[in-house]
Amino acid sequence: MSVIKKIVIVGPESTGKSTLCEKLANHYNTIWVKEYAREYLLKNGTDYTFEDLSDVAKGQLANEESGLEELQKKIKAEASSSFNPQHHTPLFIDTDMIVMKVWCEFVFDKCHNWILNEIVDRKYDLYLLGNIDAPWVKDELREYPDLPTRERLYNHYKDIMVNQSVPWVDICGSYDERLQKAINAVDEILEQ
């Protein structure tokens, strides 16, 4: 039976997290977990409160659990067919509780304790940190187009990555370079 390796893509807005997740899922013939915040903000608007971010975080965790269940079913179905699934199967997750922590702290200068507990309790195999060298793309949900703010956010994420124990890779460069760096990092994790 295949072992699921959970790979999380984190970083400031407009660093290509969703695009990278989708491309990686296609490359590895697996699934990816979409960022719940987009769905929530499109439905409820961008005038959110600290308590709203708790709801967003809960929705993200529900998406992650659903994605995990979906992938387990896919692996089971492939194992019962003539197809022999790879020994390790990646699950790509667009955003986790680290993103929620940064968001809470950056906007409200505090974080929900249960989010901090989830960061400690949840286990992942690899983080891919989206660098801000990708062009910023405006959409109705983006808040921070200015470079100094984006740099501050990126450095906040990088500090978290450096001070935790899960392997991580800075994903930078052109879109093709970003994808190749991610594939190289994922391949290494899948071989372990």
| Contact assessment for residue 91 and residue 31, using Cβ atoms and an 8 Å cutoff | yes
CATH architecture of the domain 3-190 equals 3-Layer(aba) Sandwich (3.40)
Domain ranges of the chain: 3-190
113 to 43, 128, 145, 173: CA distances (angstroms): 26, 24, 29, 35
Per residue in 2-21, pLDDT (tens digit) is: 789 999 999 999 899 999 99
Q: What is the pTM of this model?
A: 0.93
The secondary structure of residue 89, as a DSSP letter, is E
For helices 97-108 and 113-121, angle between their N-to-C axes, nearest 10 degrees = 150
Instruction: Give me 74's structure tokens.
Output: 């896919």
Tell me the three state secondary structure of residue 119.
Answer: helix
List all residues 6 or more positions away from 45 whose beta carbon is below 8 Å from its beta carbon. none
* 129-156: average pLDDT: 86
pLDDT value of residue 86:
59
Per residue in 90-125, pLDDT (tens digit) is: 999 999 999 999 999 999 999 999 999 999 999 999
84 has pLDDT over 60: no
Please list the residues that pair with 90 across neighbouring strands: 5
Phi and psi, residue 169, nearest 5°: -135, 135
